[in-house]
Homo-oligomer: A and B are copies of this chain.
């Protein structure tokens, strides 16, 4: 199988490439070649066909068509905070470039529809959620990022129905621990909290101690993306699933970090809740993830495991 990763220079993309290089797709599927697309890629990527450039460039399109991947992991995106600040950019990257990629891959002749694993987001759900989020909870994205991602979920299901792609969209929760750089993600504070407390540094948390979020380590996220490429989604017209998540309050995370890293998290963390961040990222309720678990998708197991995976590279 030839595998393409877009957004390969990003945080999750790098982890995904590492796992693909180590273990392929699993499930007896061998990987014949891996191609990586991003505007910037690491200099050394042994065994990976590098396609450095904008996903919207015609030259990149030509190289992708030439490579003709059987599996594509589409991670390239303008993240939530950056998208909200640049709606036109979000339309270009998160909507138009994504549809162009779907059109491009759908048009390459193939015996079976090409598998498209799409990194969607829990930001499709909305900010006034019921106590239990289920498969029938209405989707009301509270930010343009989630609106564009949801639109692409719907379009991917339609490409799948028309037999052009075999789409599998996963709704990613807060993925930790991102590097401590400006990522453009509004939820970056979740990663920053982990880094700071583990290092024994003070941290100002922009949501309150009881704020609950949905968490996953980058490693488990990449494992789930790979699993999504090989799992059997059945014949249901549905083509988007939430990842099973650990639902943890900030306080629980700080408590676990304190125990693991022998620090006094209660002293280190000061809470200064911002209403907008709290509403969007601090009120995640219970998630009914039975359908996702039945497909073989998994959470990190425990807060300890989450933190261990998140902070070990």
User: Which A residues are within 8 Å of any B CB, using their own CB?
Assistant: 87-88, 91, 95, 99, 103, 126, 128, 135-142, 144, 147-148, 150-151, 154-155, 157-158, 161-162, 237-238
What is the bound-complex CA distance between A64 and B150, given in angstroms? 29
One of B91, B135, B144 near A162 (C-beta < 8 A): B144
Cα–Cα distance between A237 and B129 once the two chains are bound (Å): 12
Given known contacts A126-B237, A136-B136, A141 and B162 CB-to-CB distance under 8 angstroms: no
Distance (Å) between the CB of A73 and the closest chain B CB? 22
Whole-angstrom distance between the alpha carbons of A161 and B139 in the complex? 14
Query: Residue of B at shortest CB range from A100?
Result: B91
Docked pose: A126 CA to B239 CA in angstroms: 14
Contacting residues, chain B, for A144 (C-beta < 8 A): 158, 162
Taking A139-B154, A147-B154 as known contacts, 9 extra A-B pairs with beta carbons closer than 8 A to each other, sorted by chain A number, are: A87-B162, A95-B99, A135-B138, A138-B238, A141-B158, A142-B161, A147-B157, A148-B155, A154-B154
Is the CB–CB distance between B99 and A91 below 8 Å? yes
- The residue of chain B having its C-beta at the shortest distance from the C-beta of A149 within the complex is B154
Residues in B with CB closer than 8 Å to A162 are 87, 144
- Given A136-B137, A237-B126: A155 in contact with B147 (beta carbons within 8 A): yes
Please give, as numbers and ranges, the residues of chain B lying within 8 Å of A136 by CB-CB distance: 136-138
Q: Oligomeric state, in number of copies?
A: 2
Contacts of A157 in B (CB 8 A): 140-141, 147
B-chain residues with CB within 8 Å of residue A155 when the two chains form the complex: 147-148, 151
Residues of chain B contacted by A150 (CB below 8 angstroms): 154
How far does the Cβ of A294 sit from chain B's closest Cβ, in whole Å?
Answer: 17
In the assembled complex, the Cα of A91 lies from the Cα of B158 at a distance in Å of 12
Cα separation A137 to B87 with both chains bound (whole Å): 29
- Chain B residue at smallest Cβ distance from A135: B138
Give A87's nearest chain B residue, CB to CB: B162
CA distance A237 to B280 in the complex (A): 14
Residue of B nearest to A90 (CB): B158
- Minimum CB–CB distance for A234 against chain B, Å: 14
Bound Cα distance A229, B40 (Å): 47
CB distance from A169 to the nearest CB of B (A): 13
- Is B147 in contact with A158, judged by CB distance below 8 angstroms? yes
List of B residues within 8 angstroms of A140 by Cβ: 157, 237-238
**Interchain residue pairs with CB less than 8 A apart (28):** A87-B162, A88-B103, A91-B99, A91-B103, A95-B99, A126-B237, A128-B237, A135-B138, A136-B136, A136-B137, A136-B138, A138-B238, A139-B154, A140-B237, A140-B238, A141-B157, A142-B161, A142-B237, A144-B162, A147-B155, A147-B157, A147-B158, A148-B155, A150-B154, A151-B151, A151-B154, A151-B155, A154-B154
CB distance from A85 to the nearest CB of B (A): 12
